[in-house]
Amino acid sequence: MPVNTAQKIHSARQKKTANDASGALSRGLLLLERIAEAGRGGITLTDLSLQAGFAVSTTHRLLNTLEQGGFVRRDTELGMWYIGLRAFSIGNAFLDSRDVVVQARPFMKRLMEQTGETINLAVENQGTMVYLAQTECVEMMRMIVRLGSSAPVHASAVGKVMMTWINRKQLEEVLQSQGLRRFTPHTITTMAELHQDLENIRQRGFAYDLEEHTIGLHCVASPIFNEHGEPIAAISLSGPKARVTSERLPELGLLVSRTAGEITQAIGGQAPR
C-alpha cells in the first residue's frame, strides 16, 4: 500500500475515533442531565432512553461506562439509576469555588467607588443577619461594622430584603423566634406594616432602612440568589442620611440591585421567576 494512502487511512481513522469520543461524551453528559433532573426518585433505563432519544442498548452501554467512573449508580432491585458520588464531588468543587464573599468583593469595591458609600454583605443565620464582608468608603462619617456582628431582620435593609423572597412559613418562623423589637421611633413593629413593606420591596427589587435600626443611618439592600432562585445573601449600601438622602435612594437602590444581580450571575445563581 502506498505511503500516502496509508497515511490518509490512518488520519481518517483518527478523525472517526475523535468524533466517536466526542459524540459519546455529549450523549453521556445528556444522560447525566436527565438523571439529575429526575432527582431523588431516580429514573429507569427505559424512561432515560426515551427522554434522551437513544436506543436502550446505547443508553445501557453509556450508563455502564458512567457507572464505572462513579458518575452514576444503580439500584439493581428497583432498576433505577441515580447520580453518583463522583458527579456530586465535581458539583461540590464548583460550589467551593463559588464562595459568595470572594466573588462579591470586586463588585463591592466598584459599587463603593461609584457611590462613595460603604458597602456590606450579610447572610441570614438563625433569624438574624450576620455581616461577612464590608468595603468601607473614605468619608470620615461612615458606617463600620465588626465582621460577624448581627442585625435584626425586621429593622435592617439586608434583613427585610432577605425576608421578602423566602416562603411564608419560613418568614413566620423567623419572626416568631425574633419578634419585632423597637430600636428607634422608625422601627416597624407590627406585622401589617412589615408585610406592606415587604410587598413594596418585592415590587421595586430593593429594601430601605430609614433610621429603623440606628438614628441618622440610611441603608438600601438587594438580594443575591443561588441557582434555585433562593436568597442566600444580601448586599447593602449604608451611610449617614445627610449623604444618603431620600432623593438619592431610588438611584442608589438601582445601583445596588444591579450589583446584586451581577454577583448572582457570577456565582451561577438566578433570580426567582
Give the per-residue pLDDT at 105.
92
Give the CA count within 13 Å in the CB-facing half-sphere of 140.
Answer: 0
> Mean pLDDT in runs of 10 for the chain (273 residues)?
54 53 82 84 91 91 91 89 84 61 92 93 86 83 74 92 84 79 92 91 93 92 92 93 91 95 91 83
- Beta strand 217-225 pairing with 231-240: antiparallel
Residue 143: per-residue pLDDT: 74
Residue 205: what pLDDT?
Answer: 92
Please count the other Cβ atoms lying within 10 Å of the Cβ belonging to residue 20: 10
Q: Closest by alpha carbon to 236, among 167, 128, 154, 156?
A: 156
**208: enclosing H helix or E strand:** strand 207-210
Contacts of 23 (CB under 8 A, 6+ apart): none
Residue 145 has a pLDDT of: 72
Please give the pLDDT value at position 19. Answer: 53
Strand 217-225 to strand 207-210: parallel, antiparallel, or no bridges (unpaired)? antiparallel
The partner residues of 236 in beta bridges, in order of sequence, read 120, 221
- Return the pLDDT at 6: 52
- pLDDT of res. 97: 47
pLDDT score, position 2? 55
pLDDT of residue 14: 53
